[in-house]
């Protein structure tokens, strides 16, 4: 599927962070430190220069260079993807950075955060959707690191879905949702009225 025409954006996090996310919402780094922190300190310092620690970042497809690096570094950690519909992101005034936030491509911009439509058009989709998405090529790698960001805390009520790698991970998520009243003990497919996201198993994503 083309990343440009996709319907979702994706946030990778450790499954052990999920209970905190359900309790507090999906928070930017300056609001709450994750139970399992996968961020690189050097990158964090660069992001802080643009006040990006006030934002929650998403990517436009799964298995970006960031995802791959995190999964390789934390091989024993179970991860999940929190998915949002792009239309919901647009309605909620998410911003877009059209490539890696620390890329030289942005060096001449005073502000690297663009309104959704402008930022979307600035993304180099031809590089992302090319037949040869080779992350050794720095230009392709930078293009694939485009971000969609929200300033502040994201409520669980706008999540579209949660993707996990296997049945065991599904059961962990299920247990947390049951604990917080998102689903009924009698009918685990009847979700709380305000929260319509679902959980699915996608082993190929991990």
**DSSP symbol at 1:** -
Window from 4-13, 46-55, 120-129 with minimum mean pLDDT? 46-55
Rounded to an integer, the average pLDDT of 15-41 is 80
pLDDT at residue number 31: 82
pLDDT class for 41, splitting at 50, 70, 90? low
Is 147 annotated in the active site?
yes
pLDDT at residue number 149:
97
Number of domains present in the structure of the chain: 1
Inside any domain, residue 1 = no
Supply the pLDDT for residue 190.
Answer: 47
Q: Which residues contact 120 (CB under 8 A, 6 or more apart)?
A: 96, 98
DSSP summary character for residue 153 = P
Is 182 within the bounds of a domain? yes
pLDDT tens digits, residue range 179-190?
Answer: 887 766 655 544
Catalytic residue among 23, 47, 105, 157: 47
Q: Is residue 153 part of a domain?
A: yes
Q: What is the pLDDT at residue 32?
A: 75
Q: What is the pLDDT of residue 35?
A: 54
- Decide if pLDDT at 10 tops 80: yes
Q: Look up the domain containing 24 and give its range.
A: 8-205
Residues 119-174 pLDDT 10s: 999 999 999 998 888 898 999 999 999 999 999 999 998 999 999 999 999 999 98
Count CA atoms within 13 Å of residue 42 on its CB side.
1
pLDDT in tens, 70-117: 999 899 999 999 999 999 999 999 999 999 988 888 887 778 899 999
Binding-site residue positions: 11-13, 47
Look at residue 175 and tell me if it is in a domain.
Answer: yes
Catalytic hit among 19, 29, 86, 147: 147
Active site residue 23: no
Query: How many whole angstroms separate alpha carbon 139 and alpha carbon 12?
Result: 23
Binding-site residue positions for NAD(+): 11-13, 47
**pLDDT at residue 17 is higher than 80:** yes
Please state, in angstroms and rounded to a whole number, the distance separating the CA atoms of residues 190 and 112.
42
């Amino acid at each position: 599927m083309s990343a440009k025409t996709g319907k979702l954006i994706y946030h990778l996090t450790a499954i052990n962070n999920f209970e905190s996310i359900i309790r507090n919402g999906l928070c930017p780094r300056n609001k709450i430190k994750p139970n399992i922190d996968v961020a690189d300190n050097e990158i964090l310092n660069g992001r802080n220069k643009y006040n990006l620690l006030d934002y929650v970042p998403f990517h436009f497809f799964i298995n970006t260079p960031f995802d791959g690096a995190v999964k390789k570094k934390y091989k024993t950690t179970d991860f999940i993807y929190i998915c949002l519909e792009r239309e919901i992101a647009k309605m909620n005034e998410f911003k877009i950075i059209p490539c890696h936030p620390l890329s030289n491509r942005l060096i001449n911009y005073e502000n690297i955060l663009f309104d959704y439509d402008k930022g979307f058009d600035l993304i180099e989709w031809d590089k992302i959707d090319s037949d040869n998405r080779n992350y050794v090529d720095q230009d392709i790698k930078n293009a694939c690191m485009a971000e969609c960001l929200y300033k502040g805390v994201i409520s669980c009520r706008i999540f579209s879905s949660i993707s996990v790698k296997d049945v065991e991970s599904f059961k962990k998520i299920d247990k947390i949702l049951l604990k917080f009243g998102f689903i009924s003990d009698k009918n685990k497919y009847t979700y709380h009225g305000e929260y319509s996201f679902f959980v699915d198993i996608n082993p190929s994503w991990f």
